């Protein structure tokens, strides 16, 4: 029986990937190499420091830990300039209606994001109080595909993992949900999210009834 939903943030509730991309691209340019949108796909759902490692690999560069901290902070400062301008109209289509349906049925809602900026984003888009629990990059030690972020989310809303459905747009996030013994709805490309129980393009045509059908099908 599904009693709660755990949502990833970037790529599921909002599209902050474009702001991460602009900030990483600026950092790459400063270091003397190009960073493409295709390269950016590799950073989705990945922690900030791991993202920097991937960026350095793309640029064929190595760096000591101290310098890496400086670079990551610089990127994050630029990223925050973008997210501090975000507004509620950046919530992805259908998300708010789906949240309202869940609330009406007494379902619990948690956030399970790798981002250390999740609360800032939720405040900007006016969704902070919608969530019964917020588990973000400041609260976990292990990054996705480790299930820690989602297991904590389930725990904080008082549910067993088996009673929760995770909504994820990144392959590492789908793997995290499945290794946490949760049901998973992939949001995005079925070729990338093939390990999810079902994949949807977005929330515009997705309703609670579809979730209930998924419940009986699994």
Question: Which residues are at the interface with Mg ion (CB under 5 A)?
Answer: 8, 10-11, 45, 169-170
By CB atoms closer than 10 A (0-12, 13-18, 19+), residue 96 is middle
Q: Exposure pattern of 198-218 as b/e (b: 16+ CB <10 Å)?
A: bbbeebeebebeebeebeeee
Distance CA 174, CA 184 (A): 7
10 catalytic per annotation? yes
Distance CA(86)–CA(101), nearest Å, equals: 25
Q: Footprint of ligand B16 on residues 122-141 (CB under 6 A)?
A: 137
What's the distance, CA 208 to chain centroid? 21
Does the active-site annotation cover 8?
Answer: yes
Among 20, 25, 108, 152, binds ligand B16 (CB under 6 A): 20
CA distances from 105 to 4, 92, 98, 211 (A): 10, 22, 11, 12
Asked if 56 touches ligand B16 (CB under 6 A), the answer is no
Provide the minimum distance between the beta carbon of 7 and ligand B16 in the complex, in angstroms, as a whole number. Answer: 9
41 secondary structure, DSSP code: G
| Nearer CB in complex with ligand B16: 4/16 | 16
Say whether residue 46 binds ligand B16 (CB under 6 A).
yes
Q: Does 116 bind ligand B16 (CB under 6 A)?
A: yes
115 binds ligand B16 (CB under 6 A): yes
Residue 76 Cα distances to 31, 163, 209, angstroms: 16, 35, 39
CB of 172 vs ligand B16, minimal distance in Å = 9
Asked if 114 interacts with ligand B16 (CB under 6 A), we say yes
Residue 14 is a binding residue for ligand B16 (CB under 6 A): no
The catalytic residues are: 8, 10
Binding residues for ligand B16, rule: CB under 6 A, are: 8-11, 20, 43-48, 51, 76, 113-117, 137, 170
């Amino acid at each position: 029986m599904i009693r709660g939903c755990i949502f990833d943030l970037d790529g599921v509730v909002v599209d902050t990937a474009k702001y991460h991309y602009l900030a990483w691209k600026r950092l790459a340019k400063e270091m003397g190499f190009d960073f493409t949108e295709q390269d950016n796909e590799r950073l989705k759902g990945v922690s900030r420091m791991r993202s920097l490692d991937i960026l350095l690999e793309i640029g064929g560069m190595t760096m000591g830990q101290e310098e890496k901290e400086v670079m990551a902070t610089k990127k994050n400062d630029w990223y925050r300039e973008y997210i501090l301008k975000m507004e509620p109209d950046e919530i992805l289509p259908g998300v708010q209606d789906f949240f309202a349906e869940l609330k009406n049925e007494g379902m619990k809602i948690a956030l399970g994001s790798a981002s250390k900026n999740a609360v800032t984003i939720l405040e900007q888009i006016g969704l902070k109080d919608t969530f019964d629990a917020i588990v973000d990059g400041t609260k976990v030690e292990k990054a996705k595909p480790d299930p820690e972020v989602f297991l904590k989310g389930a725990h904080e809303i008082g549910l067993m993992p088996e009673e929760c459905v995770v909504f994820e747009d990144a392959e590492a996030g789908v793997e995290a949900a499945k290794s946490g013994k949760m049901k998973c709805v992939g949001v995005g490309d079925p070729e990338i999210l093939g390990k999810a129980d079902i994949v949807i393009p977005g929330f515009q045509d997705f309703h609670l009834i579809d979730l209930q059908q998924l419940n009986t099908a699994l």
